[in-house]
Amino acid sequence: MKTLSIDVRRAEPQDAGAISEAHRASWLQAYGGIIPHKPLTQMVQRRDETWWRKATRGPATLLVLDVAGVVAGYATLGLNRARALPQDGEIYEIYLRPEYQGIGLGRLLFGESRRLLKSLGCEGFVVWCLEDSQLASSFFRSAGGVDIAEGMENFAEKELKKIGFIFR
Ligand SMILES: CC(C)(COP(=O)(O)OP(=O)(O)OC[C@H]1O[C@@H](n2cnc3c(N)ncnc32)[C@H](O)[C@@H]1OP(=O)(O)O)[C@@H](O)C(=O)NCCC(=O)NCCS
């Protein structure tokens, strides 16, 4: 019988190409039709393998979700950037490749990110998502997040509202 290994681990420089691919696939799916095409493709192109190799050296902690040797998703986390919010930590990004979504793996990656922030001494943390990303909002709500903050993000000519979820 074959066993399927599922692991959340720190990203290594040799994961950079696979993370870049996971980033491209998940961002194009998540934001197509929400963020205008030009800034979206520019953001995706900027984060090539070299960009991700540098990202494995910090400053944010970069985790990968490894499913049988495939990088199925990634998360980045670190200190909270929004001074107005008292929570210490922040999950900056959490993205899964489309074909790995909806089967509990996001919850696993989120849980590991949360545990890591706690072990680093963070009291509470924040996650931001675009208001139009309904899947992300329902995911963070179901994980126990409370939406208490709002902000705006500018993408070329388009202003989009973002929501800040806090977790204790
Ligand atoms: C958001 C994301 C990380 C969630 O991970 P996932 O593996 O798909 O979610 P899970 O299967 O672990 O589901 C956990 C909960 O999220 C919610 N959820 C997941 N998929 C959902 C869907 N299609 N519709 C509504 N709610 C959904 C549910 O509440 C679910 O709990 P349940 O299974 O008890 O009902 C993942 O879907 C993703 O990468 N999406 C695209 C990128 C994105 O929006 N990232 C967040 C940017 S801030």
pLDDT of the residue at 2: 76
d(CA 151, CA 51): 27
Q: Is the CB of 98 under 6 A from ligand 1?
A: no
- What tokens does 81 get? 């950037």
Q: Is the CB of 106 under 6 A from ligand 1?
A: yes
Look at residue 161 and tell me if it is in a domain: yes
Q: Is the pLDDT of residue 3 over 90?
A: no
Q: How far is the CA of 28 from the centre of ligand 1 (A)?
A: 16
Look at residue 149 and tell me if it is in a domain: yes
Q: What is the C-alpha R_g of the chain?
A: 16
How many domains, in total, are found in the chain?
1
CA nearest neighbour of 168 among 145, 148, 147, 149: 145
Look at residue 1 and tell me if it is in a domain: no
d(CA 14, CA 35): 30
Q: Compute the half-sphere exposure of residue 111: CA atoms within 13 Å on the CB side of its CA.
A: 8
- What tokens does 148 get? 């208490």
Structural domain span for residue 105: 6-167
Q: Is the CB of 95 under 6 A from ligand 1?
A: yes
Q: Is the pLDDT of residue 126 over 90?
A: yes
CA nearest neighbour of 77 among 57, 54, 93: 93
DSSP 84-121: TS--SEEEEEEEE-GGGTTSSHHHHHHHHHHHHHHHTT
Q: Is the CB of 96 under 6 A from ligand 1?
A: yes
Q: Is the CB of 113 under 6 A from ligand 1?
A: no
Ligand 1 site-directed mutation target among 26, 139, 140, most atoms within 8 Å of CB: 139
Look at residue 154 and tell me if it is in a domain: yes
Helices (H), 32-101: 37-46, 49-55
- 10-67 residue pLDDT tens: 999 999 999 999 999 999 999 999 999 999 999 999 999 999 999 999 999 999 999 9
Q: Is the CB of 65 under 6 A from ligand 1?
A: no
Q: What is the four-CA torsion angle of 23, 24, 29, 32, rounded to 10 degrees? A: 120
Q: Is the CB of 135 under 6 A from ligand 1?
A: yes
Taking CA atoms only, the protein residue closest to ligand 1 atom 2 is 106
Look at residue 30 and tell me if it is in a domain: yes
pLDDT of the residue at 4: 86
* CATH number of the domain bearing residue 111: 3.40.630.30
Alpha-carbon separation of residue 12 from 44, 45, 57, 144, 152 (angstroms)? 20, 21, 9, 30, 33
